[in-house]
A and B are shown apart, each in its own frame.
Chain A
Amino acid sequence: MPEPVISVANVSKTYGKDLAVDALSFAVMPRACFGMLGPNGAGKTTMMKMIYGKSIRDRNPESVISVFGYDPQVDELSIKNIAGVVPQEDNLDEELNVIQNLRIYATLYNLRTEIAAARIEGLLEFMELGRKKKTKIKELSGGMKRRLIIARALLNNPRLLILDEPTTGLDPQVRHVIWEKLRGLKRKGMTILLTTHYMEEATQMCDRVLIMDKARRIMEGPPARLVADQIEAYVLELLSPKAHDAVRGLRMPDTVRVDDSTDSMRLYARDIDALEDIRRHLTPGEYSLRQSDLEDVFLNATGRKLHVKQ
């Protein structure tokens, strides 16, 4: 069994009276993509910041964070030297253009001039920004800024890439391009830790996900296994009040679970036949019958209503 790249044990973080992370433990294995999922305010970003030393965990003798064997509170420089970080907010240097932004970071990483030039060239090509070298940051689209930030995080050839909501707010094309790039990096042996609230992103990218809510761990495992273990295989979503009424009049078999905690109603079953029977009483366009996915697991686990921090 290889050593994990990141081990987190019993880590908590409080801001004043607010508990942002509550006794979290997990491990990220080499060459894996590990995803932290959760609604806004669940504590994902805080956990991530503690990993690269931007935030300090609560003092507790049993609390451990180890990244490549280094504790971020003792050896932040060693971790930063072999990890790349893509933060949630765009924090490019707006006073500099695209290539100057990368050059400044090449200097921060102390890359030799020739190596820096070659690597910058390569990364701009890889991120499809080759023609934007001299462009001002303000003139870049949201997708280009994100790609540039990822390129910046790759300058030191990191062994670990940490991404905080890498595709939030981007259009589907850009999102797919970024996923493709990240999968390419993973194939080359990079370990990836990301946070997201896009279930599709987690399903597409992650070997393993940790679902968090209100500072706590809810569940953890490979996405496909979570879907198989944690929820019925099929779901029938009723989209109109008329459909709700039609279904309420029916005798529901024991194998169907009804969730009507919000305005829309969902029926779950392991076996598609039971749902097919119900569907026959509905008009097309009023329902959707599909396989359940990670989003159903997630919403089932974290609830459908918003809470204070969201």
Chain B
Amino acid sequence: MSNNSGAGYPSLCHRLYAVWYRHYRVYTKNLLSNGLPPFLEPLIFLAGIGLGMGKYVSEMNGMPYLEYLASGLPLSAAMFTAAFECSFGTFIRLEFDRVYDGMLAAPITVGNLLAGEILWAGTKGLFFSTAVILVVSCFGLLPMPVSLLASAIGFVTGCMFAALSLLVTSFVKTINHFNFYFTGFISPMFFFSGIVFPLENLPAAMRYAAEIFPLTHSIRLMRAIVYGQWHPVLLADAAFVLVFTLVIGFFAIRRLRKRLIV
């Protein structure tokens, strides 16, 4: 049975799924080493803060400090996993293993390949944030079951940082350059996006800078879901997240296409 014409190539949905499936298979191959850390990390964090720092800082913004932290941690987990996946991970597939070169001989385009990456990183963001939500809610730090809805923001955050990391990757010539990205951008984001302390009392300049940080907006969305506090500003946050992902994703794909199709 031979294909008679080329026109019957797989649909866009299937092409994206096939790329996603490749990453899913690789990830689930080492289920224990890949699947356990997302559950352990929040435990370690809570132990450190709860037993140590929590003794000195008991309240933040009118709520118990641990609860305050717990409503932001799921998204920092989503951010870190997506950022790693689409920086170091993508670079290795692009330059060292040449996995993309092989996949591009099958009926997918560069756009499909990279959009599939972003969706996969979103999925990891969903998984990681869900893991953190489940763990911290065991300690009564997040209201259940409503907090599970915030996993959706984990997915969105994953996609957003995947797009950004792909754009960074498109500029990177050697893998060590990612150190600048993580030290200079991702780590500060953890502190200045409202996870650890509220942004309201920062100096004005830093408050504005924090508004540029994509994580700030998804944190606000998550807290709104968890505590049911709706406010019109949230629409702006949602728009920021959406537009940021689409625009940055568009430029990332455009730049990486030049690297893959020579």
Contacts and interface: CB of A to CB of B under 8 A. Distances in A.
B7 interface: yes
A180 interface: no
Nearest to A88: B101
A287 interface: no
Contacts of A96: 25-26, 29
Contacts of A95: 26, 29, 97
A54 B105 CA distance: 8
Contact of B3 (A15, A152, A159): A159
Given A78-B6, A78-B9, A107 B21 contact: yes
A127 interface: no
B18 A108 contact: yes
A81 B6 contact: yes
B189 to A, nearest CB: 29
B99 A157 contact: no
Contacts of A80: 6, 9, 105-108
What range describes how many residues of A lie at the interface?
35 or more
A100 B102 CA distance: 14
A70 interface: yes
Interface string A63-89: 000001010000111111110110101
B18 A157 contact: no
A196 interface: no
B109 A77 contact: yes
B105 A87 contact: yes
B102 A91 contact: yes
A179 interface: no
Interface string B29-43: 100000000000000
B109 A157 contact: no
Contacts of B15: 108
A120 to B, nearest CB: 14
Given A78-B7, A87-B102, A104-B25, 7 more contacts: A80-B107, A81-B7, A81-B107, A93-B26, A96-B29, A104-B18, A152-B102
Interface of B: 1-3, 5-10, 14-15, 17-19, 21-22, 25-26, 29, 97-99, 101-109, 260-262
Interface of A: 15, 49, 52-56, 68, 70, 75-82, 84-85, 87, 89, 91-96, 100, 103-105, 107-110, 149, 152-153, 156-159
Instruction: List the 8 closest pairs (A to B, CB-CB), nearest first.
Output: A78-B6, A85-B105, A110-B10, A108-B106, A91-B102, A91-B98, A81-B9, A80-B107
